[in-house]
């Protein structure tokens, strides 16, 4: 089946968060053509009512049934094994049942994408506390998808990229304490991140991306005055990557490199990607430019996975106020990447 014929799978996310309603809004506004929702039918029907969508809900037996579904229809593929009564859970609260359901939807999505039934996965937000309450042993999507993609074997290295139209940042470390993240910044980890980012760039048409590497310490260590990780670890990894033909440069001062890389009106960026050592170093600049257009992409998986760059937004969940722009951007990115990627 061609990539254009295969649908994208959107996982429902946490039923107590804004995931179901932004999915319903996306479909209502005609931006979710070619997408099938994996989740609970009753939850998705309630979400459609919440956003004022007088749209039909089609219950599918398989992703291929989407071809017969009329436009602007909320096409839902029920996921087996979900907890009962999800639609009755109060919005904006951590609930183990919602965490278990979110994990089950992700698991089912991976089964479908590995079987070639869908072209890629777009994940609505999950809540880490709800996952933990359900006994799910992963801190987030990235780690869970990495393990599921391995199918019991040795997990392949993956990296998180957050991207919008102006800036793309790839992280060396992600969901761990800052203290432990610093210890995790090793020569091997930095070089592996550079290799993954370089290889993934071909999916969006950049076979030789210009990659900037941000330092870990203020002023990139200032020649060792403020820390020597740049001298001992990061610069040697950059040199090793360059020896492999990767256009990597740095390490640069973290407080200025993102401005240099930003592609804005009248300001063409110097770089196509920035490698950041820690989660907040890399994500704050992208999110500051606007979460409504940000997309989280997992690099290194054998299939395409994107998501919005925001969380479950429990503070506004259930009120019909959530913006679907970041989800729409994630769908567009998934289509682009799946069109450039071979089927599993």
pLDDT at 344 (0 to 100) = 54
- Residue 59 in domain: yes
pLDDT (tens digit per residue) in 120-153 = 999 999 999 999 999 998 888 888 999 999 887 8
pLDDT (tens digit per residue) in 52-106 = 865 689 999 999 999 999 887 899 999 999 999 999 999 999 999 999 999 999 9
Same domain for 307 and 343: yes
Same domain for 67 and 37: yes
- Residue 296 in domain: no
- Residue 338's pLDDT band (cuts 50, 70, 90): confident
pLDDT > 70? residue 36: yes
- Residue 228's pLDDT band (cuts 50, 70, 90): very high
CATH number of 89's domain: 3.40.718.10
What 3-state class would DSSP assign to 70? Answer: coil
pLDDT at 343 (0 to 100) = 56
Q: Which residue has the higher pLDDT, 269 or 52?
A: 269
Q: What is the mean pLDDT of residues 274-288?
A: 94
Same domain for 65 and 180: no
Q: Which own/partner contact pairs does 139-147 have at CB distance under 8 Å and 24+ positions apart? A: 139/175, 139/176, 140/174, 140/175, 141/106, 141/296, 141/298, 141/305, 141/307, 142/174, 142/175, 142/298, 143/175, 144/103, 144/106, 145/106, 145/110, 145/121, 145/298, 145/301, 145/305, 146/298, 146/300, 146/301
Boundary-marking domain end, from 251, 266, 289: 289
Sign (positive or negative) of CA dihedral 108, 111, 116, 120: positive
Same domain for 280 and 174: yes
Tally the domains of the chain.
Answer: 2
- Residue 295 in domain: no
Give CA separation, 328 vs 30, 43, 211, 295, in Å: 10, 20, 27, 9
Same domain for 255 and 328: no
User: How large a percentage of the chain has pLDDT more than 90?
Assistant: 78
Which of the residue ranges 7-16, 24-33, 213-222, 322-331 would you say has the lowest mean pLDDT? 24-33
Same domain for 223 and 137: no
Q: Which among 162, 200, 188, 172 has a CA at the least distance from the CA of 293?
A: 162
Domain range for 50 is 1-156+301-344
Q: Which among 114, 168, 152, 46 has a CA at the least distance from the CA of 305?
A: 114
- Residue 1's pLDDT band (cuts 50, 70, 90): very low
Same domain for 134 and 1: yes
pLDDT > 90? residue 342: no
Same domain for 325 and 264: no
DSSP type of residue 72: T
pLDDT at 290 (0 to 100) = 77
Same domain for 216 and 79: no
**pTM for the predicted model, two decimal places:** 0.88
């Amino acid at each position: 089946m061609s990539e254009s014929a295969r649908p994208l799978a959107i996982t429902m996310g946490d039923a107590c968060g804004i995931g179901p309603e932004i999915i319903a809004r996306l479909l209502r506004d005609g931006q979710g053509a070619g997408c099938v929702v994996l989740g609970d039918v009753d939850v998705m029907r309630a979400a459609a009512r919440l956003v004022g969508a007088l749209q039909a809900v089609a219950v599918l037996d398989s992703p291929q049934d989407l071809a017969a579904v009329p436009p602007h229809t909320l096409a839902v593929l029920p996921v087996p094994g979900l907890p009962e009564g999800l639609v009755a859970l109060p919005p904006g609260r951590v609930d183990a049942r919602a965490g278990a359901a979110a994990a089950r939807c992700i698991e089912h999505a991976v089964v479908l994408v590995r079987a070639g039934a869908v072209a890629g996965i777009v994940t609505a937000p999950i809540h880490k506390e709800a996952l933990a309450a359900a006994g799910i042993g992963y801190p987030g999507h990235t780690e869970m998808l990495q393990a599921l993609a391995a199918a019991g074997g040795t997990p392949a290295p993956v990296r998180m990229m957050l991207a919008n139209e102006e800036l793309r940042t790839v992280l060396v470390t992600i969901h761990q304490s800052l203290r432990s993240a610093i210890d995790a910044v090793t020569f091997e980890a930095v070089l592996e991140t550079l290799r993954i980012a370089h290889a993934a760039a071909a999916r969006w048409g950049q076979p030789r991306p210009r990659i900037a590497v941000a330092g870990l310490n203020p002023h990139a260590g200032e020649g060792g005055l403020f820390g020597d990780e740049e001298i001992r670890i990061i610069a040697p990894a950059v040199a090793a990557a360059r020896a492999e033909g990767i256009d990597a440069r740095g390490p640069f001062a973290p407080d200025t490199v993102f401005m240099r890389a930003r592609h804005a009106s009248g300001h063409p960026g110097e770089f196509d990607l920035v490698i950041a050592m820690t989660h907040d170093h890399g994500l704050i600049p992208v999110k500051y430019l606007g979460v409504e257009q940000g997309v989280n992409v997992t690099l290194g998986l054998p299939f395409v996975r994107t998501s919005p760059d925001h969380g479950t937004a429990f503070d506004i969940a259930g009120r019909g106020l959530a913006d679907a722009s970041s989800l729409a951007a994630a769908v567009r990115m998934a289509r682009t990447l799946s069109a450039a990627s071979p089927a599993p």
